[in-house]
Amino acid sequence: VQDRLDLLKSNTHNTVNSLLDLKALELAANVDAKIESGQEIGLLEGIPFGIKDVYMVQGTLTTSSSELLKNYKSSYTATAIQKLLDAGAIPLVKENCDSFGHGSSSENTIFGAVKNAINPELVGGGSSGGSAVNVAKDYTVFSIGGDTGGSIRQPAGYNKVYGFKPTYGRISRYGIMAYASSTDCVGPIAKSIEDIRIVLNVMSGKDVKDQTTYQSKAISEEAVLNADQIKTIGYFKNFIESEAIDAQVKSDFLASLEKIKAKGIKVKELDFFESDTLVSTYYTLAMAETASNLSRLDGTNYGARIEGDNLKDTYSITRSENFSEETKRRIVGGNQVLSQGFSDEIYLKGLNLRDQIADNFEKDFQEVDIILSPVTPSTPPKIGDSLKDPLAMYLSDAYTVGFSLGQLPTLTVPQGTATGLQISAAKNNDELVLKFAHFLK
């Protein structure tokens, strides 16, 4: 624990400054005492982990990498994190990310851009960039990211580790700083399928504090080892034939398909919505939801407050001065989407498209067991480039957001393509995803 803390302290771009609040050394000392006195230990006893800084952990700063919440301390602990603590895991660090989850590069943060673990001139990916980099560099054994439209899967791909977005509702969202509540998912980033499985099991389960949760069966080690039931996989033809796909990503993906065929699995081409439709549907809904969720940050209850001449001024100055450009862009966009005169035309259309996307998946999963996709069309950009062109950044999410809108379990594995391979299955079939990942190894 001490060694990892030292590494984290000297790599502050992966972390936010709440390392010491977490009392990792005290907790580690307790583990030794427990073992010496012969007490029973938890499944994750003594395992050091990281937490994207959008999770409440009582008594620690929870900044969401934003100016507005720079000094905000959580008064309670998120359900998923509490379950890990109860299993004995040791929280080492709150991790740098795009502010409020808004971004795909972990540059929209007050703590400085997260650098890619493989090539530090490139972005770490986002929004859970600090979490993926910490795992890749072995600063944490696993990290808990958050995935609304790809934020676990994409940075996992960019840093060549595993990142899992479970079925929506498998893990409680209670105590996560809400971005877009209808697709927000809690999930692990780790270096092996086995670690993903164990951490997933610990965090899963129904929670009365999040009414969208459901009770799931724990996934056993034996279940993951046997992939006999997987006969057919599919992939979206338009993703692979798109002009936007990087040549390397494409040829790596096609090579993976050949390998899979050689193992006796049938491979089917599937039709899907165009990238533009997926990205605009996702951003319409995500912006609407974040505008609503962030309306509570008005200088009265949480975080920074800049006094104006009257209450309305206080709201507006506090928000204008403390939200980043990217976050303001989304709030303005979201409020427009939801406003009278526009909402029927834009917001309802977004909801309708989301239903069509979910129906499309449902049909596909009657024909195939698994859907495969590259994580992103292109390889990680250089630090600084994403900030110049927000629209290009939104479009780089083309391959991840569909699975979010479908609320499907989707795992990034660090092989297959230059940015990793995404494995997806029907809703609640998280086990099948892990089976196929193991089969591919």
Annotated active-site positions, please? 52, 127, 151
61 contact partners, CB below 8 Å, separation of at least 6: 16, 17, 18, 21, 53, 70, 71, 72, 73, 74, 94
Nearer to ligand GLN, 125 or 299 (CB): 125
Nearer to ligand GLN, 397 or 431 (CB): 397
Nearer to ligand GLN, 150 or 420 (CB): 150
Cβ at position 124, least distance to ligand GLN in Å: 13
Nearer to ligand GLN, 151 or 275 (CB): 151
Give the footprint of ligand GLN on this chain (CB under 6 A): 101-104, 127, 147-151, 179, 286, 397
What are 165's two structure tokens? Answer: 């977005």
40 contact partners, CB below 8 Å, separation of at least 6: none
Residue 295 sits at φ, ψ, to 5 deg, of: -65, -20
In this structure, are strands 266-270 and 90-95 parallel, antiparallel, or unpaired?
Answer: unpaired
Rounded to a whole number, what is the largest CA-CA distance in the chain?
Answer: 71
Cβ at position 349, least distance to ligand GLN in Å: 19
Classified as helix, coil or strand, 232 is strand
Cβ at position 283, least distance to ligand GLN in Å: 7
Sign of CA dihedral 109, 113, 114, 116: positive
Task: Identify whether the C-beta of residue 136 lies closer than 8 Å to the C-beta of residue 160.
Answer: yes
In this structure, are strands 232-236 and 266-270 parallel, antiparallel, or unpaired?
Answer: parallel
Alpha carbons 114 and 11: distance in angstroms, whole number: 10
Cβ at position 149, least distance to ligand GLN in Å: 3
Q: How far is CA 164 from CA 106, 127, 203, 287, in A?
A: 18, 14, 12, 23
Cβ at position 147, least distance to ligand GLN in Å: 5
Scan for tokens 């010491």, then name that residue.
20
CA 73 to chain centre: 22
Neighbours of 10 (CB within 10 A): 7
DSSP conformation class of 138? T
Nearer to ligand GLN, 98 or 431 (CB): 98
Closest CA to 47 of 114, 158, 135, 107: 135
Nearer to ligand GLN, 14 or 256 (CB): 14
Cβ at position 79, least distance to ligand GLN in Å: 19
Nearer to ligand GLN, 4 or 102 (CB): 102
Cβ at position 62, least distance to ligand GLN in Å: 16
